[in-house]
Structure 1
Amino acid sequence: MPHDLFDNLPPDPPTSDGARSSPQERIEWLRQKIRHHDYLYYVKDRPEISDAEYDRLFKELCDLESAHPDLLTADSPTQRVGGMPLAELGKVRHERPMLSLDSIVDPSDVLAFDQRMKRELETDQVEYTVEPKFDGLSVELVYERGRLVRGSTRGDGTTGEDVTINLRTIRSLPLHLRSDSSPPAHLAVRGEVYMKLEDFHALNRAITERGEEAFANPRNAAAGSLRQLDSHITASRPLVITCYEAMAVSAQPPTSHWEELDALADWGLPIPSHRRRCRTIEEVIAFHRETEEVRDDLPYEIDGLVVKVNRRDWQEQLGFKSRSPRWAIAFKFAPRKEITVVQDIVVSVGRTGTLTPVALLRPVEVGGVTISRATLHNADEVARKDIRVGDTVKVERAGDVIPAIAERIPVPGESRSEPFSMPDHCPVCGSAVGREGAYYYCTGQAGCVAQLKGAIEHFASKQALNIEGLGKKTVAQLVDHGLVGSLADLYRLTRDHLMPLEGFAEKSTSLLLEAIQASKTVALDRFLMGLGIRQVGQHIAKVLAREFGSLDAIMNADEARLRSVKEIGPEISASLVSYFREESNRRVIDQLRSLGMVIEERQTSAPAAFLPLAGKTFVFTGGLDRYSRDDAKRLVEQQGGTVTSSVSKHTSFVVAGRDPGSKLDQAHKLTIRVLTEQEFTELVNP
Structure 2
Amino acid sequence: MEQKLGRMEALIAEINQHNYHYYTLDKPTISDGEYDKLYDELVSLEQESGVVLPQSPTQRVGGELLKGFAPHRHRARLWSLDKAQHAEALNAWHQRVAKGVADYNAKHPDEPPLPAPAYVIELKFDGLTLNLTYENGELVQAATRGNGVVGEGILAQVKTIRSVPLTIPYKDGIIEVQGEGIMHLSVLQAYNATAAEPLKNARNAAAGALRNLNPKVTAERKLSAYIYNVGYAEEAEFADHAEMIQFLRDNQFKVNPYLVYSDAIEEVQQELERVALMRAELDFLIDGAVVKVVDMRTREALGYTDKFPRWAVAYKFESEEATTLLKEVGWEVGRTGKITPVAKVEPVELAGVTVQNCTLNNAGDIARKNLTHALGTHVFIRRSNDVIPEILGKADEAEQGEEIAIPATCPSCGTELEQRGAHLFCNNKLACRPQIIGRIVHFASRDAMDIETFSVMTAEQLYEECEVHDPADLYELTYDDLIKLERFGDKKARNLLDAFEASKTRDLASFLFSLGIPNTGKATTRLLANHYRDLDRIMAAEAEELVELPDIGAIVAESITGFFRDPAIRTSIERLRALGVKAEPEQPAAVREDSPFHGKTVVLTGTLSALTRDDAAKRLEALGAKVTGSVSKKTDYVVAGDNAGSKLAKARDLGIEVIENEQEFLRLLGD
TM-score normalised over the length of structure 2: 0.46
